[in-house]
Amino acid sequence: MANSIPQAGRLLRIFGLGFGLAVVIGGVIGSGIMRNPSVVAAGFLDPKYILLAWLVGGLFVAIDAMPTVELGAAIPLAGGPYSLAARAIGPFTGFFVGWADWLQLAISTGFISVAFGEYVLRLGLLSFLSAGQIAILLVLACGVLNWIGSRVGGASQNIGSALKALGLIILVAVLFFGPVNHDAVAAAPSSPVFTWVAAMVALRAIYGAYGGWQAAVYFSEEVHQPERNVARATFAGIAMVTALYVLVNAAVLHVLPMGALVSSNLAVSDAMRLVLGERSGVVVTGLAILCVATIANLQIMEHIRTTYAMARRGILPPKLATVSASGTPRAALLVVLGATCLIIAGADMVKGQLYEILLNLYAPNVMIIFLFLSYAAIRLRQTEPDLPRPWTMPFYPWPAIISMVLNGALLVAFLVSDWRTGIWSALFLALAVPLYALGHKRWR
């Protein structure tokens, strides 16, 4: 086990279970819980079924996480999906999974950061800048925190995640116990008719809102007792997020009648407006800013470790695998910041059109990653049956099979609904072949 003494090319094992919980909670809770309650309500139309759907969604995500957690506890290496797939399946497949992860982290961090900029402008702050310029400032600020060192970056994540969870708890209390403007409620439209299409869209929205649960796996090389704490952090974090999501939806249902909830684009914001009036906009926007800033910082930390892990294995330039005395791979950090800022600048130049394209391009990446990791868990059981597995999935291999079926179905549904974008996504992912060949030839 690595110690806390800085060594060239090694990360520092300085994080505890609390950090693991913070990155799971901070990685999951985002804009999804602010926007998706209305989408889910349109699919189920009954408060008890809506709450049950969010509860079952959390349970299903826990099942989906089991193959990845088993791998992460047995292979405590930095780099998340890349390191796990490379060990279980092979170096090229590992790089393919890592490349898919690298792309989705770069694009999604840019998107999240631009959302941060839009929220800041909504509060009337920094109005002399564009949303993209504010987004670049956020990325650079996160870069400064991580440049200083792992302890500072980790502490900022702990604080941000704690404030985010506390903010949701306060929001729930305000909605349950605050005075409601019943005159505004009385004007609500009637509920729509149930359709299976709306129910399927609702299930996809729930799945998306729970995305980010795998965050602890990226840091398993830096967490004390990863063989225990990766599993503890992941499943305890999913349980806490599930409880918060159910509470938020219950609070929104307490305030908004079904018709108003279904027709709302920002259900939480509309519910808060009925309780706090116009002051609610500042409160909800402030919470949204905290949510997206925390996720942006976390994804930059994950992105750094994926880049570092691939460089350490000789697929990327070895300079990217050097680690400062403070525990940060600073060269990898600079590459991550540069790539993210370029994406943001490009999107800012074309006023958002590029983001719609990029978001569709990377959408299947997450499904591909977890499809491979579920297969990797089964394969590693066969190829390395004697490998110590501190945490094993119950009812093996069914959790892995269920995860493969779900992510495979989501991938097929995406390709069927938007096959042109699917072709472009495949072309971007196919870049893994020449990149791997180049890295293998030059640096391995």
Res. 7: pLDDT tops 80: no
432: left (phi over 0), alpha (psi -120 to 50) or beta: alpha
Short-list 69, 113, 143, 82, CA closest to 365: 82
Which domain does 338 fall in, by range?
A: 17-442
Helices (H), 384-431: 398-417, 419-430
pLDDT of res. 1? 39
In a domain, 2, yes or no: no
What pLDDT is stored for residue 191 in this prediction?
67
Tokens of 258: 């079904």
Per-residue pLDDT band at 67 (split at 50, 70, 90): very high
Res. 298: pLDDT tops 90: yes
More confident residue, 204 or 408: 408
181 against 126, higher pLDDT: 126
Residue 394 domain flag: yes
List helix spans (H) across 149-195.
Answer: 150-177, 182-186
Mean pLDDT of the chain, nearest integer: 89
CATH number of domain containing 84: 1.20.1740.10
pLDDT score of 163:
92
Q: Is the pLDDT of residue 4 over 70?
A: no
Q: What's the CA gap between 334 and 25, in Å, rounded?
A: 26
List, for residues 78-135, the tens digit of each pLDDT value.
999 999 999 999 999 999 999 999 999 998 898 889 889 988 998 889 999 988 899 9
Lowest mean per-residue pLDDT among 9-13, 239-243, 288-292, 374-378: 9-13
Is 54 within 8 Å of 246 (Cβ atoms)?
yes
| Per-residue model confidence (pLDDT) at position 188 | 61
Dig out the tokens for 180 from the structure.
Answer: 């409601």
Whether 12 maps to a domain, the answer reads: no
- Is 1 inside any structural domain? no
CA-CA-CA-CA torsion sign (288, 294, 298, 299): positive
Its sign, for the CA torsion 104, 107, 109, 114, is: negative
pLDDT bracket for residue 234 (50, 70, 90) = very high
90 domain residue, yes or no: yes
Average pLDDT on 261-285 reads 85
Kindly state the average pLDDT of the residues 420-433. Answer: 86
Instruction: Give the model's pLDDT for residue 183.
Output: 66
**Total number of domains in the chain:** 1
129-142, pLDDT tens digit by residue?
Answer: 988 899 999 999 99
pLDDT score for 33: 86
Hey, what's the torsion of the CAs at 60, 62, 66, 70, to 10 degrees? 170
Per-residue confidence band for 288, with pLDDT thresholds at 50, 70 and 90: confident
Residue 226 pLDDT: 94
Considering the domain boundaries, does residue 314 fall inside one? Answer: yes
DSSP 247-289: HHHHHHHHHS-HHHHHT-SSHHHHHHHHHHGGGHHHHHHHHHH
Tens digits of residue pLDDT in 334-355: 999 999 999 888 877 766 555 5
Write down the pLDDT at residue 172: 94
Rounded Cα gap, residues 155 and 167, in angstroms: 18
